[in-house]
Structure 1
Amino acid sequence: MKRIESVAVVLPAFNEEKDLPALLARIQETLTAQSFRYQVIVVDDGSKDRTAEIAGEAAGKMPLTLIQHEVNKGLGMGIQTGLSAAMKVADVVVVMDSDNTHDPIYVMDMVRRLETEDLQLVIASRYQPGSVIVGLSAFRKMLSLGCFLLMKTIVPFRNVRDYSTGFRAYDSALLKRMAQVYGEDKLVEESGFVCMLEVLLKLRSIGTKAGEIPYTLRYDLKEGVSKLRIWKTLKRYLAVVNRYRATRPEAANIVAQQVKA
């Protein structure tokens, strides 16, 4: 059993003044008393509202670092900045959405799985028994399920069902190995929502050991407007799958080991 002493929570944020305060309060309430040290890294991606100000105020009350992009670069670049910074300061990096749809209570389950099992990545999955989705339209649920079935068929990843969720816990050693293979500035290259699929397929290519936990996705708590553009995202999904589907995990893993050596 490995001991995890520190966890960095990465929050890529763009115009999240309505939802960020409640999420930060919940993170502080949930993680303060845990056995591991935690810190929050808010990546403000060129917001035009009070997102950066809210994060700055919270930094006086909890362990929080604010990183700002001068202009909006997209979700992918927000995650790229957050992963690059967080993997250097913590044993585990947790990425969450900043719109209050993810409950930090599940961070403890993720950390426990990483500590007690031979895993490098734990995903909060919508497709595990016991998972619940609250406040999402039937159309969006059907679309998500269709994407899951398609991904599972053409780019199977052992023990992974949810390819697009933004709620994940990464072993920092895994991210550093990924950086060796792809470059630290190319952990994430897609700018939009499809970046979550891109990261997962890159991790698949280097032989990552992954697991999932069930969770409740709370769209009913989200006050801000959704930034997802469905049909544009679907086109990018297909482009990313075509780029990585032919990548053999075993071959890429050999490359990763050579780089590591």
Structure 2
Amino acid sequence: MKHIESVALVLPAFNEEKDLPALLARIQETLTGQNFRYEVIVVDDGSKDRTAEIAREAAQTMPVTLIQHGVNKGLGMGLQNGLVAGMKAADAVVVMDSDNTHDPIYVMDMVSELEAKGVDLVIASRYRPGSVIVGLSAFRKLLSLGCFWLMKTLVPFRGVRDYSTGFRCYDSTVLKRMAQTYGEDKLVEETGFVCMLEVMLKLRSIGATASEIPYTLRYDLKAGVSKLRIWRTLKRYLVVVNRYRGKRAPASPIASMTPGAMTGTTHERKVA
């Protein structure tokens, strides 16, 4: 049974000044005093609002690292930089949406599942018995269910039902394995929301193991507007599935990793 001593929470963020303060406060309230150390990594993807300022303010009272993109580069690049920073800082990396739809109370469940099952990845899944979706339209629910059946048919991944959720807990060692296979700068190559599927299929290609937990998705708590472009995303889904459907990882590593250690201090990085 593995033991997780440190967790990095990666929050890709673009114009999230309405939702980020409540999420950071909830993270601090929930994770302070747990049996693992935590650090929040906010990746501000060229926001035009107070997203970066909010992260800096939070860093005065909790362990927050801010990574800033000079211009908006898309969710994929935010996830890319967050995963690289997270896997070097902690034993496990939890990725969450920054719009307050994911409750950090489930972080403990995911870490416990990662430890107990010994898997590489734990997913907070919308499609497990006990899961609840609050505040999402019937059309979006139907669309999500259709995508679920398509993924299970075309790219089956043992233990996985939810291929596109942004709420996941990765063992850092599997991210480093993926970096050795695809390159540290190519963990994520898609720019939009389909990057979540891309990461899943790359993990599938290197033989990663996965488990899921049920959770409640709270769209009713989201104050900001949705940035999802549905039909554009669906087209990219099909492109990515076709690319990775029969893919097996390259045989030789093309990048080397140097594990880092969590220091508990806050710092800030700017990415051009």
Partner of 2:259 in structure 1? none
Q: What is the CA deviation profile of residues 212-250 of structure 1, one whole-angstrom value per residue up to 9, with x for unaligned ones?
A: 0000000000000000000000000000001000214xx
Is 1:235–2:241 an aligned residue pair?
Answer: no
Of the three residues 246, 255, 261, the one matched with 2:251 is: 255
Partner of 2:225 in structure 1? 225
Greater RCO structure (CA 8 Å; 6+ sep): 2
AA partner of residue 165 (structure 1): T
Partner of 2:46 in structure 1? 46
Q: What SS is found at the alignment partner of 1:196?
A: helix
Tell me how far apart the structure 1 counterparts of residues 254 and 243 of structure 2 sit (CA, whole Å).
Answer: 23
Q: What SS is found at the alignment partner of 1:190?
A: coil
Q: What is the CA deviation profile of residues 187-210 of structure 1, one whole-angstrom value per residue up to 9, with x for unaligned ones?
A: 000000000000000000000010
Kindly indicate whether the alpha-carbon contact (under 8 Å) linking 2:91 and 2:172 is maintained by their aligned counterparts in 1: yes
The Cα of 1:125 is off from its aligned counterpart by: 0.2
Kindly indicate whether the alpha-carbon contact (under 8 Å) linking 2:183 and 2:254 is maintained by their aligned counterparts in 1: no
Q: Percent identity?
A: 81
Is 1:14–2:14 an aligned residue pair?
Answer: yes
Is 1:158–2:158 an aligned residue pair?
Answer: yes
More helix by share: 1
1:91-240 equivalences in 2 (<5 Å): 91-240=91-240
Kindly indicate whether the alpha-carbon contact (under 8 Å) linking 1:166 and 1:196 is maintained by their aligned counterparts in 2: yes
Kindly indicate whether the alpha-carbon contact (under 8 Å) linking 1:13 and 1:51 is maintained by their aligned counterparts in 2: yes
Kindly indicate whether the alpha-carbon contact (under 8 Å) linking 1:206 and 1:256 is maintained by their aligned counterparts in 2: no
Q: What is the CA deviation profile of residues 33-63 of structure 1, one whole-angstrom value per residue up to 9, with x for unaligned ones?
A: 1000000000000000000000000000100
CA RMSD of aligned residues (A): 1.4
The Cα of 1:256 is off from its aligned counterpart by: 6.4
Change (3 A) 1:100 1:256: farther
Kindly indicate whether the alpha-carbon contact (under 8 Å) linking 2:17 and 2:49 is maintained by their aligned counterparts in 1: yes
Q: What SS is found at the alignment partner of 1:43?
A: strand
Kindly indicate whether the alpha-carbon contact (under 8 Å) linking 2:95 and 2:166 is maintained by their aligned counterparts in 1: yes
How many aligned positions are there?
A: 256
AA partner of residue 7 (structure 1): V
Kindly indicate whether the alpha-carbon contact (under 8 Å) linking 1:119 and 1:211 is maintained by their aligned counterparts in 2: yes
Is 1:86–2:82 an aligned residue pair?
Answer: no
Stretches of structure 1 lacking an aligned partner (at least 5 in a row): none
Tell me how far apart the structure 1 counterparts of residues 252 and 168 of structure 2 sit (CA, whole Å).
Answer: 22
The Cα of 1:18 is off from its aligned counterpart by: 0.2
Stretches of structure 2 lacking an aligned partner (at least 5 in a row): 257-272
AA partner of residue 35 (structure 2): S
Q: What is the CA deviation profile of residues 107-143 of structure 1, one whole-angstrom value per residue up to 9, with x for unaligned ones?
A: 0011001111120100000000000000000000000
Q: TM-score, normalised by structure 2?
A: 0.92
Change (3 A) 1:67 1:31: same
Dislocated runs of 4+, deviation >6 Å: 256-260
Q: What SS is found at the alignment partner of 2:18?
A: coil
The Cα of 1:3 is off from its aligned counterpart by: 1.3
Tell me how far apart the structure 1 counterparts of residues 199 and 52 of structure 2 sit (CA, whole Å).
Answer: 26
Q: What is the CA deviation profile of residues 157-210 of structure 1, one whole-angstrom value per residue up to 9, with x for unaligned ones?
A: 001000000000000000000000000000000000000000000000000010
Partner of 1:246 in structure 2? 246
